[in-house]
A and B are shown apart, each in its own frame.
Chain A
Amino acid sequence: MSSSPTLASRLKGRSELGVALLLGAAGALVIWDATRIATTYSQSDPVGPKTLPFIVGGLLLVCAVMLAVNVFRGGKGEAEGGEDVDLSHPADWKTVLPLAGAFIANILLIDWAGWVISGTILFWGSVWALGGRNYIRDGLISVAMSLLTFYGFYLGLGINLPAGLLEGLL
């Protein structure tokens, strides 16, 4: 356990320890944040704003430790199934990363280029990431979706989505 190769072999296939790490970090963060709240004891609020954060942070830290122990003892969280989920193959990052890319592109573009453009990129990019290769049909559907939602939200719900570059045209 002390030498590195055994440690590495013990860590192998235990990616769930990352969850424990995340819980621990979250717990530490919550507690650290609570300690820097400056507050004086007040008769009307004996609990104060720090109590719950300490409890929550403590809960997270305890869960982190227990989860780490559980994983080292061979415990495993059960991955979630579903209608379209096939757990027999490993996570397909070639799908997920482009998908996240399309999402981020939308975040960066939405205020500047407007929803019609950014939404089109989001939908088209997502379809592409998920395996759609009918570029023209996918593109037409993407444009139609963002135009319809833009006008639908404007006329139906009174919500003005940003028009961006196409301001004046739409």
Chain B
Amino acid sequence: MDVFSSLMDGFATALTPMNFLYAVIGVVLGTAVGVLPGLGPAMTVALLLPVTYALEPTSAFIMFAGIYYGGMYGGSTTSILLNTPGESSSVVTAIEGNKMAKAGRAAQALATAAIGSFVAGTIGTALLAVCAPIVVEFAISLGAPSYFAIMVLALLAVTAVLGSSRLRGFASLGLGLAIGLVGLDVVTGQARLTFGVPLLADGLDIVVVAVAIFAVGEALWVAAHLRRTPLQVIPVGRPWMGKKDWKRSWKPWLRGTAFGFPFGALPAGGAEIPTFLSYVTEKKLSKHPEEFGKGAIEGVAGPEAANNAAAAGTLTPMLALGLPTNATAAVMLAAFTQYGIQPGPQLFESQGPLVWALIASLFIGNFLLLIINLPLAPLWAKLLQIPRPYLYAGILFFATLGAYSVNLQAFDLVLLLTLGALGFMMRRFGLPVLPLILGVILGPRIEKQLRQTLQLSAGDPAGLWSEPIAVGIYIIIALILLWPLLFKLIRRNRPAAVPAGVAATRSGASEPTDASGGSASHGSHRATTGGDGDGGG
């Protein structure tokens, strides 16, 4: 079956009245929860997971599609109307968006974000529908060795590339992998890290882990540092745009989409880099560069489009390879396994109708977002004023409910609190949470591929690089891991290339008694001397 007819079948499934209703519920719930401060898309999906348990998988995933895009959209509303952004992908949107809102142009900022999200989401979803089957075709020919390498790449790339401290990223990854080990080993049936507790034999439920780390950890963390003076919410009417705004927005939307999708589809994608690139590009290309920093509409349109296109891009490796590359996709993948659906390249074959219904409902959800959210924006803005005690008590309440309803045992709540405390500690000490979640989800699957690989090669480690794709990926992994080292070497060998300002600050930080330090203090005046001094030292 070709893409188009499969997609049409998907639409036929997704547009049955009941499924359409679930899409609407998903979009509204996703936006409502996503708008609430402190609740990002990943936590939104995690908290709403139990709501979908009673549904059959297809309906559940149609609802997830709505929640996914709705949560994304809700997040941008928050960052435009409040002063501080909730998640890293909307940091850039907040720069110009909040300035626009303060200048009385909140309606236009929300409109360009909503329409830009729609444009980028639609193009991104179309690219997903086209690309995913191609990736599958390629992936289906891969054996366990390549698969193992790809998963290792995804884990290491997310850990090493994102976040400010690689060391802390790896610490978080280690904790995640350790949590993933708990339970009976699938091959030999040996108990690992269960400490004789029978309740641990099945391993930790991924829903419990996700809800604990995202929701409980976050609620406790915010509670410890709750802002006592509430943020100013900027009131807003119905979003609309004038002719001039359209003219200034459409190109940034398209460019943002072009940045967002490929980055989202990469194993270490994420939305931070493309939103930032889009912002810089728009600033450079704008006919009104003086407006940047004071509320330029291009600075909202581009990054918002990039953000949503990246969200669609992320689904490509998730559906085609079973590889989640951001927190939201990781939680959705957890939902797949909850339904007993095996993620991976076989997904399109074994669950074709479900996957295509999911993709079709992404289109539908996108469209619904546009027509529901433009009129509802003032209502969403009111949600931002919800009293904080109710908001965070509510998060804890629903987190408890969600984790408890999985197995109906109080023991899960003990785990929830323990892992919630871990999530609190990670936020306090700057350990990123994404590597942990990916470690929990991918750890067991990596182990399975590793064992299959060595089983095929009868224990010979050379089996790991028996496929050319695997070798290529190991080279990429080596480059990612060695990058900081290489970077240092390049800088040392070409000292003149170091800008004077950087050289001055770097030697200024080193020993003040050093002779080169003295000369470097004049580095800003005599760039060559400062640079040489740094290279010699």
Contacts and interface: CB of A to CB of B under 8 A. Distances in A.
Given A47-B450, A162-B408, A23 B174 contact: yes
Q: For chain B, give the interface size range.
A: 35 or more
Contact of B51 (A78, A84, A115, A157): A157
A104 interface: yes
Nearest to B424: A96
Interface in B47-100: 50-51, 53-54, 78, 82, 84-86
B515 interface: no
Contact of B405 (A48, A79, A106, A153): A153
Given A52-B450, A122-B400, A126-B397, A80 B86 contact: no
A79 B414 CA distance: 25
A1 to B, nearest CB: 21
Given A99-B220, A110-B410, A162-B408, A56 B177 contact: yes
Contacts of B454: 46-47
Contacts of A6: none
Interface residues of A, number: 84
B489 interface: no
B171 interface: yes
B240 interface: no
Contact of B37 (A23, A67, A84, A131): A84
Given A33-B193, A77-B431, A156-B54, A107 B413 contact: yes
Contacts of A111: 410
B247 interface: no
Contacts of B414: 107
Contact of A130 (B389, B400, B459): B389
Given A84-B38, A100-B220, A107-B410, A77 B458 contact: no
A77 B401 contact: no
B222 A82 contact: yes
A80 B447 contact: no
Contacts of A156: 54
A92 B192 contact: no
A98 to B, nearest CB: 9
A44 B401 contact: no
A17 B455 CA distance: 41
B226 A106 contact: no
B400 A92 contact: no
A96 B50 CA distance: 26
Interface in A38-96: 38-39, 43-49, 51-53, 56-57, 59-60, 63-64, 66-67, 70, 75-87, 89, 91-93, 95-96
Nearest to A64: B171
A143 interface: no
Interface in B431-479: 431, 443, 446-447, 450-451, 454-455, 458-459
Contact residues of B: prevailing secondary structure:
helix
Contacts of B392: 84, 126, 130
B180 to A, nearest CB: 8
A23 B225 contact: no
B54 A157 contact: yes
B248 interface: no
B226 to A, nearest CB: 6
A163 interface: no
Nearest to A153: B405
Given A56-B178, A79-B430, A43 B86 contact: no
B400 A106 contact: yes
Contacts of B362: none
A81 B447 CA distance: 35
Given A80-B430, A86-B227, A130-B388, A45 B171 contact: no
Contact of B224 (A93, A102, A138, A159): A93
Interface string A121-153: 011001111111000001001000100010001
A106 B38 CA distance: 23
A119 B225 CA distance: 25
Contacts of B389: 126-128, 130-132, 138
A34 B387 contact: no
A115 B223 CA distance: 24
Contact of B53 (A26, A79, A122, A159): A159
A19 interface: yes
B192 A37 contact: yes
B209 to A, nearest CB: 15
Contacts of B368: none
A19 B227 contact: no
Contacts of B487: none
A161 B417 contact: no
A49 B185 contact: yes
Contacts of B401: 115, 119, 149, 153, 161
A92 B226 CA distance: 8
B188 interface: yes
A39 B393 CA distance: 47
A157 B228 CA distance: 38
Given A102-B396, A141-B390, 8 more contacts: A23-B174, A77-B429, A77-B430, A82-B221, A83-B37, A130-B388, A131-B388, A153-B401
Interface of A: 16, 19, 22-23, 26-27, 29-30, 33-34, 37-39, 43-49, 51-53, 56-57, 59-60, 63-64, 66-67, 70, 75-87, 89, 91-93, 95-96, 99-100, 102-104, 106-108, 110-111, 115, 119, 122-123, 126-132, 138, 141, 145, 149, 153, 156-162
Interface of B: 37-38, 50-51, 53-54, 78, 82, 84-86, 164-165, 167-168, 170-171, 173-175, 177-178, 181, 185, 187-188, 190, 192-193, 218-228, 231, 387-390, 392-394, 396-397, 400-401, 404-405, 408, 410, 413-414, 417, 424-425, 427-431, 443, 446-447, 450-451, 454-455, 458-459
19 contacts: A26-B178, A39-B190, A47-B454, A49-B188, A53-B192, A59-B174, A63-B174, A77-B165, A82-B221, A83-B82, A92-B226, A100-B417, A107-B414, A111-B410, A115-B404, A119-B397, A123-B396, A127-B393, A157-B54
